[in-house]
Amino acid sequence: MRGPHNIWRLIRTGATLERTGAMGVVLDAFRAPPHLRLVARILGWPFAWLGYKGDVTQPPATRALTALGPAYIKFGQIMSTRPDVVGDELASQLRVLQDKLPPFPLAEAREMVEQELELPVDELFSEFSEPIAAASIAQVHQARLADTGELVAVKVLRPGIERAFRKDVDAFYLAARMVELLAPSARRLRPMDVIAHFEGVVMGELDLRMETAAAAEFASNTAKDGGFRVPQVQWFLSARRVMTLGWANGIPANDLGAIDAAGHDRKALGERVLRLFLSHALRDGYFHADMHQGNLKVAPNGDIIALDFGIMGRLDEYTRRVYAEIIFGFIRKDYHRVAEVHFEAGYVPADRDVDEFARALRSVGEPIFGMDASRISMGRLLNYLFEVTERFGMETRTELILLQRTMVVVEGVARSLYPQINIWEVASPIVEEYIKDNIGPKALARDLKRTARVLARFGPRLPQMAEAALMRESLPQVHVKGPTKWMRLGYAGVGAVTMAALIWVLQAL
């Protein structure tokens, strides 16, 4: 679907923002300078009639994003958790995007369930409700299992959602290509790679079999986490477009009035959300990457219940260690070590000055410490970080996109629960524990054992590998004469013996 026709899609995006009245709201929220406001209005006003009308009963921003499609709605969901970035008014408008979108008819949902599970709905469920929540990609129904009477949640994809998402993503590809062509300085951000990564994540979210597997893995990893729960997966009632989980009773995390009325400690809840996210990312390398308020509930006993596992993040162990060292360095105000870690990991080009980079990091980190989080302008902080990374030629790390995005969302959720929360103070014990267990002598011994297991798998093949090396060296070679050939044979033999000895030693550890 990629092609010039996507230009029309981008034009209609701007036109829709203008027609729905969202353009002014967005410009105000991001504190756009006067000249940018003037250009946006001059370009947008003549084409406003081309924009989608949307639902006139909704606030302007919500009206525009719902009219534009699911990818835009996803963006709005993220921004709804950041009133410190977009302002309270826009955040309030966007919050309804989390789980209060218009549903599709019950009859269509029942038809899809029957097609996917290949049995009549009434044979599977004794009860099947009207939709109780509707989001950008799917909606949820409460049902009761016919054989056990257990309450469950049945998630059903919106009809035609795959095509709708493809249309949005294709337009984003065009926008990314235009950025690369028209703004060479932005190429370091690798916009095409970013959109490709986003596409992969979204297409995975559109296959509920993958989400079912993700929920099961996440539940296994977090089974011993106090104050946290994942609903039980119903494997035999899940398919590509339908997923069934155990029912979760609780208060939505965005219903602060109900949370207060139930007597829950919002400060403790906010801190727990941050601690859990960091634990999952660092300890497991597998974390919920869509943790906005619409995907979290507070159980009657105060447990946090996670929902919607369509977007999950995964980090390899090396990246986890780098991430932990960076956070730990900021916590300890060791900006030089933070700078060194960036260079060691290849995040900053080797020809840059590490001391200068450390000084720039200090200018970012120092204002954070000892300050009430409600006084920090995250928008201003992110803007300055962008300037620093541009100055030192850092490229976008696609493997960290979900981590960075989720960190923004999780901090926003925690702050909505407790506005005075300080992310660094809450993160400190989690990161220190990870550093103690994963960077040092204990981690070295564990790495050696893993290396031994990998090398041991080659043990039975060592004779054949050595023989093959010797045979290659014994073949006639025009450029090899006299002792050089025998030196190579000797090296091959010594290499084989050394590898065998190394495997024996490591296995003995």
Q: What is the mean pLDDT of residues 43-59?
A: 79
Q: Which residue has the higher pLDDT, 322 or 487?
A: 322
**For residue 482, pLDDT beyond 50:** no
The token pair that represents 66 in the structure block = 């719902």
Q: What is the mean pLDDT of residues 17-35?
A: 76
- What pLDDT does residue 379 have? 47
Query: Is 350 exposed, middle or buried (CB count within 10 Å of its CB: 0-12, 13-18, 19+)?
Result: exposed
Q: What is the mean pLDDT of residues 351-376?
A: 78
Q: Kindly report, residue by residue over 259-268, the tens digit of the pLDDT.
A: 999 999 999 9
Can you tell me whether residue 166 is helix, strand or coil? helix
Question: What's the predicted TM-score (pTM) here?
Answer: 0.72
- What pLDDT does residue 500 have? 46
- What pLDDT does residue 212 have? 95
- What pLDDT does residue 237 have? 96
Residue 48 pLDDT class (50, 70, 90 cuts): confident
Residue 131 pLDDT class (50, 70, 90 cuts): very high
| Residue 265 DSSP symbol | -
**How far is residue 444 CA from its own chain's centroid?**
29
What is the rounded average pLDDT for all residues in the chain?
79
- What pLDDT does residue 53 have? 86
Residue 290 pLDDT class (50, 70, 90 cuts): confident
CA gap 340, 83 in Å, rounded: 34
CA gap 319, 289 in Å, rounded: 16
Q: Find the distance separating the first CA and the last CA of the chain, reported in whole Å.
A: 56
Q: What is the mean pLDDT of residues 75-103?
A: 69
- What pLDDT does residue 468 have? 79
- What pLDDT does residue 487 have? 45
H/E stretch holding 83 reads: helix 83-86
- What pLDDT does residue 494 have? 43
Residue 100 pLDDT class (50, 70, 90 cuts): low
Q: What is the mean pLDDT of residues 240-258?
A: 94
Residues catalogued as catalytic: 290
Residue 505 pLDDT class (50, 70, 90 cuts): very low
Q: Which residues on neighbouring strands pair with residue 332, listed in sequence order? A: none
Q: What is the mean pLDDT of residues 79-83?
A: 63
Of the listed ranges 21-25, 298-302, 340-344, 350-354, the least confidently predicted one is: 21-25
**For residue 377, pLDDT beyond 80:** no
Q: Which residue has the higher pLDDT, 62 or 463?
A: 62
**For residue 509, pLDDT beyond 60:** no
| Residue 21 DSSP symbol | T
Contacts of 242 (CB under 8 A, 6+ apart): 112, 113, 116, 117, 154, 155, 156, 157, 208
Give the CA dihedral 23, 24, 28, 33, nearest 10 degrees: 80
Q: What is the mean pLDDT of residues 132-151?
A: 91
Residue 476 pLDDT class (50, 70, 90 cuts): low
Of the listed ranges 104-113, 248-257, 309-318, 482-491, the least confidently predicted one is: 482-491
CB 454: neighbour CB atoms within 10 A?
Answer: 10
Of the listed ranges 29-33, 99-103, 213-217, 284-288, the least confidently predicted one is: 29-33
**For residue 117, pLDDT beyond 80:** yes
Of the candidates 277, 282, 227, the residue with the CA atom closest to the CA atom of residue 414? 277
CA gap 7, 170 in Å, rounded: 10
Q: Kindly report, residue by residue over 165-193, the tens digit of the pLDDT.
A: 887 888 878 877 776 776 665 566 577 87
User: Please, what's the b/e burial string for 83-106 (b: 16 or more CB within 10 A of its CB; e: otherwise)?
Assistant: bbbbbeebbebbbbbbbebebbee
**For residue 392, pLDDT beyond 50:** yes
**For residue 503, pLDDT beyond 50:** no
Q: What is the mean pLDDT of residues 35-61?
A: 76
Most confident residue range from 85-89, 98-102, 354-358: 354-358
Q: Kindly report, residue by residue over 188-235, the tens digit of the pLDDT.
A: 657 787 677 777 777 777 899 999 999 999 999 999 999 999 999 999
Of the listed ranges 124-138, 324-338, 455-469, the least confidently predicted one is: 455-469
- Order of strands across the sheet that contains 251-252: 228-229, 304-306, 296-298, 251-252
